[in-house]
Each structure stands twice: as structure tokens, then as C-alpha cells.
Amino acid sequence: MRLNKTIVCLVLVLLTFLGANFASAESQTNPQPLKVGFVLCGPITDNGWNQSHNDGRLYLEKTMGSKVQTIFAESVPENSEAGRVIEKMIAQGVKIIFTTSYGFFEPALQAAARHPDVVFMQINRYSEQKRANVGVYFPYYFEPMYAAGVVAGKMTKTNKIGFIVGHAVSNVLAVVNSFTLGAQSVNPKVKVHLVCTNSWNDPVTESEATKALAESGVDVVASNLDSSLTVCLAAEKAKIYCIGTHFDLKKQIPKSWLTGASWNYGPLYVRIVQEIIDGSWRSGTNYYASKDGYARLASFGSIVPSKVQKEALNALQKINQEKIIVFSGPIKDSTGKLRIPAGKTADNHCIEQMNWVVPGLEGYSAK
């Protein structure tokens, strides 16, 4: 009887050992996917900023397959609520978090201090605070917007262009300045009037601002908001041209759409995640020019003459070849103060801290 009990015990131990080894072998052959989270400030169907990030997330899933599992939170306010959303993601096992709006950086930094094993990637936000698990990705979409400015400068008849933005933060001012320089490169008479709504998403204000600009004689309006759709629809109703950012709206705005800037985040997200998996990722700020392909010139509307299209594409090609440096001196601001001396070009730090506008750009006071 004792022998039988001993045999039974040995068999149970053996089975337990084999089961543990089988589970270990299975985990090695079928490793758990790396969980990647995305925090978004608006809906993923906004035809703009948030949808472009979500398209990038879906591309990441499709390209990397079983290596990754992604989750997202949309319409997250840029306040303490963002911190709670981040903590919830971490509790679910997320190891990489992309914070995709300017105001998420402070909650991300706070969470990064509490969770050194989680990598945080913040978009378009410079900070003196450095952490080993925090990185910034900075695609310079002001470069394709220079080419969009070329289109606007050629298409305007009144030489009055409007530009509606959510917040006049540095990366947005770089876009507006670049756009203005592009328009002035082909039409020195152009004046650009800047309107700030103080919100990334306020359709009522955006629509009213577009209407007011049209009534003032503006015949081309650009925008840098969560989505350019409201502004473009209002522009089409007012029978003026429109230029957008973040998303290609050619299909939605067939009569008034000129062009704009659009995102191609998918390959960039694959690149970053693969670097983290490989162990080659390092904290810091990574800058990506137009030639890297993550920020692109959007489709031309059917109303844009082929000659104008070629001129814009030629300008963008020269930027990619570094034959045109958008912020190359001498450049003064709208008050006459020299910001970039002759023979100098704006470095990344200058662009990140841009708080002034170029001559011919109205509606904003240089600081």
C-alpha cells in the first residue's frame, strides 16, 4: 500500500514537472504580445488628428501581428483625467504608451516617475525634464505646409488668407509661419490673418470664424485643429478655398479643397515599437523631416491647376533635398525683431520654442 502511495506521489511530481516545462516551452514558442496603449484627445472618427493616430495604431497591429496588442482611449481630456486613463492602461499590462496630444505630457511625466518599466512616447512637446523611460517624437509637418502655402499663394485672388488654430503653441506657430513663408514665396502681397479658438475642437466657433473671415475678404482659409472638416465645410458653403492639416479631406470637400498636410504614422509607430523590442530605443527627442515620409503633402483638389501642383511639389522636393530651408535667415518677426540672422538656420530648439510670427501674419502678438 505504501509502495502504491509512493508511486502515485512520484507520478504526480513528474506530471507537475512536465506540465511546468510544457507551459514554459509553450510560452517561449508563443510569447505574450507586447501591449501598446494610445491616449487620444478626441474621437477616432474625427477625420483629423485622432483618426490619423488611430490609423497608425491599426497599421502597427497589422504589420507586427501577434508581437503586439494595442488598446486605446479616445476623447480623453487634457487634465488629471489623462493621468487616470494612463494608470488604468498600466494596470492592464501596457508597457508602451503613446500620449498623442500636447497637454498629455505632464500626466505622462508623472506616471513615468511611478512606472520606470513603462515607456512613454509623447508627440510634439519639448521639455527640459528628462527621464530614461520618456521619449518625444516630433514629425515636422511645417515642411509640407510650406508647399501648401505655395498653393494658397497662387490660388488667392484677394491676397487675403485666413488661418484658424486651436492653440498658438510653438509647433502650431511653426506650421503657420512656414505656410505664410510658402505663400509669400510665390505671392509677396499675401497677408495671413490668424484666428485662435482656444480649443482643439469647437465646431461652432470654427464655423463662425470661417464665416467671419470670408466676409472680411479672405478667399483661402487654412486650419490646424483636431479636424479641419468643420472649417472646410464652412469654407465650401461660403464658396472660398480651404487647406487642412492632419487628414486628407479631398473626398469630403470636392469643391473647395486645395491641399494640406496629412500624417503617415503607421510606419513610425512600427519603427519605435521595434526599437523598444530590440533594445535599441533611447529616451530623448527624435525629429523627423518631410523626407522621412511621416508627414506628407495631402492630395490636390481637382480645382488646383496642374501648373500650381507642379510648383508646390517642386518646392517640397527642394525642401527634402535641403535646397530650401524653411527657417533660414535673415528672418524678422512681425514687430521687426531679428529672430534668425543671415547665414543661420533655426535649429530644433528654436523651432520647439517658437513664440513669434513672421511679417505679413496678422492677429498674433510676438512675445
Whole-number Å distance between alpha carbons of 319 and 327: 11
Share the mean pLDDT of the chain: 92
Selection from 247, 217, 305, 295 nearest residue 231 by Cα: 247
- Which residue is associated with the grid cell 517640397? 316
Percent share of the chain, pLDDT over 70? 90
pLDDT tens per residue, range 130-152 = 789 999 999 999 999 999 999 99
CB 54 within 8 A of CB 24: no
DSSP3 helix / strand / coil % (the chain, rounded to 5): 45, 20, 35
pLDDT at 365: 76
Mean pLDDT across 317-336: 97
pLDDT at 16: 47
Selection from 179, 185, 171, 177 nearest residue 364 by Cα: 177
Residue 119 pLDDT greater than 60, yes or no: yes
pLDDT tens per residue, range 241-299 = 999 999 999 999 999 999 999 999 999 999 999 999 999 999 988 999 999 999 999 99
Highest mean pLDDT among 13-22, 63-72, 122-131: 63-72
Residue 352 pLDDT greater than 50, yes or no: yes
CB 179 within 8 A of CB 149: yes
Instruction: Tell me the whole-structure pTM to 2 decimals.
Output: 0.88
Residue 30 pLDDT greater than 90, yes or no: no
Exposed / middle / buried, residue 267 (Cβ in 10 Å: 0-12, 13-18, 19+): middle
Q: Which three cell numbers stand for residue 170?
A: 510653438
pLDDT at 367: 60
pLDDT tens per residue, range 185-228 = 999 999 999 999 999 999 999 999 999 999 999 999 999 999 99
Percent share of the chain, pLDDT over 90? 85
Pairing of strands 338-340, 361-362: unpaired
Least confident of 123-127, 250-254, 317-321: 123-127
Return the amino acid letter for 341: P
Pairing of strands 338-340, 331-332: antiparallel
Selection from 244, 279, 246 nearest residue 264 by Cα: 246
Whole-number Å distance between alpha carbons of 227 and 49: 6
